[in-house]
Amino acid sequence: MAKQKNVLPGFSLSLGFTIFYLSLIVLIPLSAAFIKTTELSFLEFWHIVTAPRVVASYKLTFGASLVAALINAVFGLLTAWVLVRYTFPGKKFIDALVDLPFALPTAVAGIALTAVYAGNGWIGSWLEPQGIKVAFTPTGVMVALTFIGLPFVVRTVQPVLEDLEAETEEAAASLGANRWQTFSKIIFPAIWPALLTGFALAFARAIGEYGSVIFIAGNMPMVSEITPLLIITKLEQYDYVGATAVAVVMLIISFMLLFAINGLQWWTNRNTTSAH
């Protein structure tokens, strides 16, 4: 039997190109960041990355990113469900609108959100009399991060819902299951890995977001200053070592969080496979 030829190059050559590309684009720049911090002693490094202003930016960046990703996990699932399971006028327009944060320059998104949620904006003029201020506050940061993260959840969950047979829900209903039982026992276990992936992507995207946040955040130190902005500020002050030190901490924390999420996803997939 003749050996089947692959269209792409063999494993060794493909692996070589993959490692070379990843090293050039990812590993070398990240390694340079770690090497730059070696100019600091451990005490100097610790003093920079634990300064009160820096710690406050960590809390806002990771806290707002987590909340935004959780919001997108809920409403992204709802949006994907509506787009897959229902037919209504303007459906294609809504479907295309989901991808708008992908195509829209982040600075434009930030300016638009600020104009809408400012005290004299369309929505802000209604919220501020109720004591709810969005623009130039940490809440504005969360709104911007939610805006840019929604497509990740929708586009990750949507294909899984499309492949999920509606007959399984009908079978569950015929066996006496109510809507909540059908969702929790049939639908949710099937879409959970995809939902977790979308959550992780939205969370990772939010951590590094800059353009859409700086306009609506207000950028007040200790209040509404995100870590990426603090890094840019240090670079503008020619504090390259300090900026690199903060960036390394962001990199380590981000990697640990994503590693934990990916580990949870692997464990979920394994249990799901074992159950079947």
What pLDDT, in 10s, does the model give residues 80-132?
999 998 888 989 999 999 998 888 888 898 999 999 999 888 898 899 888 88
Gap between the Cα atoms of 265 and 252, Å rounded: 20
Q: What is the mean pLDDT of the chain?
A: 86
Of 8, 179, 162, which Cα lies nearest the Cα of 84? 162
**CB-count exposure of residue 227 (10 Å: 0-12, 13-18, 19+):** buried
Is residue 208's pLDDT more than 80? yes
DSSP 23: I
CA angle 175, 178, 181 (to 5 degrees): 95
Residue with tokens 């276990």: 189
Retrieve residue 193's tokens: 């890995």
pLDDT greater than 70 at residue 275? no
d(C-alpha 266, C-alpha 276), whole Å: 16
pTM exceeds 0.95, yes or no? no
- From CA 132, how far away is CA 216, in angstroms rounded? 15
Whole-angstrom Cα distance, residue 77 to residue 188?
10
Q: Report yes or no: 108 and 148 within 8 Å, Cβ to Cβ.
A: no
Q: pLDDT for 219-263, tens place per residue?
A: 888 999 999 999 999 999 999 999 999 999 998 988 888 788 778
Orientation angle between helical segments 188-207 and 138-163, nearest 10 degrees: 140
User: What CATH number labels 58-225?
Assistant: 1.10.3720.10
User: CA–CA separation, 66 vs 260, rounded Å?
Assistant: 14
Q: Percentage of the chain with pLDDT > 90?
A: 44
Whether residue 152 has pLDDT greater than 90 = yes
- Enumerate residues 6+ apart whose C-beta is below 8 A from 4: none
Distance CA(226)–CA(56), nearest Å, equals 8
8-state DSSP, 184: I
Q: For position 20, what pLDDT does the model report?
A: 87
- Sign of CA pseudo-dihedral 174, 178, 183, 189: negative
Q: How far apart are CA 82 and CA 91, in angstroms?
A: 9
Backbone torsions φ then ψ of 146, nearest 5 degrees: -65, -40
Q: CA torsion, points 76, 249, 47, 224, in degrees to nearest 10?
A: -20
pLDDT at 78 over 60: yes
